[in-house]
Amino acid sequence: MHFRIMPGSWLILVLAVSSAAVLAHAATVEHTFNVATLCWPRISQPGDVSITAVDGVPGPVIEAYEGDTVVVHVINDSPHNVTIHWHGVIQRGTPWADGPEMVTQCPIRPGTRYTYRFNVSGQEGTLWWHAHASFLRATVHGALIIRPRAGAGAYPFPTPDGEAVVLLGEWWNDENAISSNVIADAYTINGKPGDLYAGETTANRSAKFEVTRNSTYLLRIINAALNTAFFFKVAGHTFTVVAADASYTTSYETDVIVIAPGQTVDALMAADASPGCYYMAISSYQSAFPPPPGGFNGNVTTSLVEYAGAAAPGGGQQAPALPDTPEPTDTDTANRFYTGLTALVRPGMPRVPLTVDTRMFVTVGLGLRYPPCEPTQTTPCQPIPVATMNNQSFVLPSAMSMLDARYRNTPDGVYTRDFPDRPPVEFDYTNRTEMVVGGSAAALLFPGMPATKVRKLEYNATVEMVLQNTALVGRESHPMHLHGFDFFVLAQGFGNYDDATGSQQFNLRNPQERNTIAVPTGGWAVIRFVADNPGMWFMHCHIDSHLSIGLGMVFEVEDGPTPDTKLPPPPADLPQC
Alpha helices (runs of H) in 468-567, residue ranges in sequence order = 499-502, 544-547
Q: Binding of ligand NAG at residue 69 (CB under 6 A)?
A: yes
SS3 118: strand
SS3 357: coil
Q: Binding of ligand NAG at residue 113 (CB under 6 A)?
A: no
Nearest approach, Cβ of residue 573 and ligand NAG (Å):
13
Contacting range for ligand NAG; rule: CB under 6 A; set: 286-294, 421-429, 468-476, 501-509: 421-429
Eight-state DSSP code of residue 97: G
SS3 403: helix
Listing DSSP states for 244-267 in one string gives: ETTEEEEEEEES-EEE-TT-EEEE
Q: Report the residue from 28, 204, 410, 501 that binds ligand NAG according to the rule CB under 6 A.
A: 204
Alpha helices (runs of H) in 90-245, residue ranges in sequence order = none
Alpha-carbon gap, residue 338 to 341, rounded angstroms: 6
Q: Which is nearer to ligand NAG, 113 or 213 (CB)?
A: 213
Q: Which is nearer to ligand NAG, 297 or 516 (CB)?
A: 297
Q: Binding of ligand NAG at residue 468 (CB under 6 A)?
A: no
Q: Binding of ligand NAG at residue 319 (CB under 6 A)?
A: no
Q: Report the residue from 561, 564, 569, 572 that binds ligand NAG according to the rule CB under 6 A.
A: 561
Contact letters for ligand NAG, residues 115-154 (x by CB under 6 A): --xxx-----------------------------------
Contacting range for ligand NAG; rule: CB under 6 A; set: 45-53, 236-244, 312-320, 439-447: 439-447
Q: Report the residue from 325, 431, 469, 516 that binds ligand NAG according to the rule CB under 6 A.
A: 431
Q: Report the residue from 94, 227, 302, 331 that binds ligand NAG according to the rule CB under 6 A.
A: 94
Q: Report the residue from 77, 434, 558, 559 that binds ligand NAG according to the rule CB under 6 A.
A: 434
Q: Which is nearer to ligand NAG, 24 or 378 (CB)?
A: 24
Residues of 210-227 as b/e, b for ≥16 C-beta within 10 angstroms? Answer: bbbeebbbbbbbbbbbbb
Contacting range for ligand NAG; rule: CB under 6 A; set: 12-20, 322-330, 420-428, 519-527: 420-428
Eight-state DSSP code of residue 134: T
Q: Report the residue from 1, 4, 9, 458 that binds ligand NAG according to the rule CB under 6 A.
A: 9
* Amino acid (1-letter code) at residue 241: V
Alpha-carbon gap, residue 72 to 131, rounded angstroms: 13
Q: Binding of ligand NAG at residue 179 (CB under 6 A)?
A: no
Q: Which is nearer to ligand NAG, 241 or 360 (CB)?
A: 360
Alpha-carbon gap, residue 77 to 186, rounded angstroms: 27
Angle at alpha carbon of residue 83, lines to 82 and 87, rounded to 5°: 140
Q: Measured at CB, which residue is nearest to ligand NAG? A: 448
Alpha-carbon gap, residue 485 to 467, rounded angstroms: 16
Q: Binding of ligand NAG at residue 430 (CB under 6 A)?
A: no
* Amino acid (1-letter code) at residue 195: D
SS3 178: coil
Distance in Å from the first CA to the final CA of the chain: 38
Nearest approach, Cβ of residue 38 and ligand NAG (Å):
15
Q: Binding of ligand NAG at residue 203 (CB under 6 A)?
A: yes
Residue 15, C-beta contacts closer than 8 angstroms, at least 6 positions apart = 2, 3, 4, 162
User: Do residues 53 and 12 make contact, with C-beta atoms less than 8 angstroms apart?
Assistant: no
By the criterion CB under 6 A, which residues form the site for ligand NAG?
9-10, 69, 81, 93-94, 106-107, 109, 117-119, 183, 197-198, 203-204, 213-214, 297, 299, 391, 424-425, 428, 431, 433-434, 437, 443-444, 447-448, 460, 560-561, 577
